[in-house]
Amino acid sequence: MLEHFYRDVFTELARVTKPSGVWYVFCDGQSYPAFYVSAYPHVKALRPLIWDKVVSFNGYTWRHQHEIIMFAELPEAKPIPTGDGDILRNRAVPVNDREHLAEKPVDLLTQLVKKCGRVILDPFAGSGSTGKAALKEGKDFIGCEIDERYYRLAQSGLEGIEPSTPSNKACTRQGQVAPQFDNFE
């Protein structure tokens, strides 16, 4: 049903991402196959990572306790020699602490951002947690957010964030959330 949308999104992402870049796309067991098919023509490798949220929420049995993160390497991406495993364990943001329904923990995103290039793009920025991780790591950030409430939330959340380590402080740093989809180069 959403195939056209997925195809358009990945075509645009391929257009604006450097050939040496990588993508991390959060999805679940239902959306992963559609994302895989749509991303496949643009990349040299695709792998599922598992985010273990540590907790599941009350309800019926087999509640979601994980999300899949589709990791995509663009054609000129270089291998990252860290030896890290493909399961990330980071507690989900408690529901009562969330400012966005789908808010991701900044410490989870920090692990991903560390393995990216100097400029981070999140085209669906929500509360801006990817931007917070990027700025803490001393990287530049561009976000896009269609909902004005979340756009303002993300923009104000990025203000005043400083790189977290001295080596990160050596980098130049700019964070910007755009209220609509924009070019990224």
Ligand X SMILES: C[S@@+](CC[C@H](N)C(=O)[O-])C[C@H]1O[C@@H](n2cnc3c(N)ncnc32)[C@H](O)[C@@H]1O
Q: Which residues bind ligand X (CB under 6 A)?
A: 100, 102-104, 124, 126-127, 129-130, 144-147, 150, 181
How far apart are CB 120 and ligand X at their closest, in Å?
12
How far apart are CB 28 and ligand X at their closest, in Å?
11
How far apart are CB 116 and ligand X at their closest, in Å?
15
The residue length of the chain stands at: 185
How far apart are CB 60 and ligand X at their closest, in Å?
23
113 in Cβ contact with 134 (< 8 Å) = yes
Q: Looking at beta carbons only, is 169 or 175 nearer to ligand X? A: 175
Distance CA 49, CA 18 (A): 22
Q: What is the side-by-side order of every strand in the sheet holding 45-52? A: 22-27, 66-73, 45-52, 87-89
Q: Looking at beta carbons only, is 73 or 103 nearer to ligand X? A: 103
Distance CA 61, CA 59 (A): 7
Q: Looking at beta carbons only, is 46 or 177 nearer to ligand X? A: 177
Q: Looking at beta carbons only, is 20 or 101 nearer to ligand X? A: 101
Distance CA 74, CA 39 (A): 10
Q: Looking at beta carbons only, is 44 or 151 nearer to ligand X? A: 151
Angstrom CA distances, 99 to 124, 132, 150, 163, 164, stand at 15, 14, 9, 23, 23
Output the residue with the shortest Cβ distance to ligand X.
Answer: 126
How far apart are CB 92 and ligand X at their closest, in Å?
11
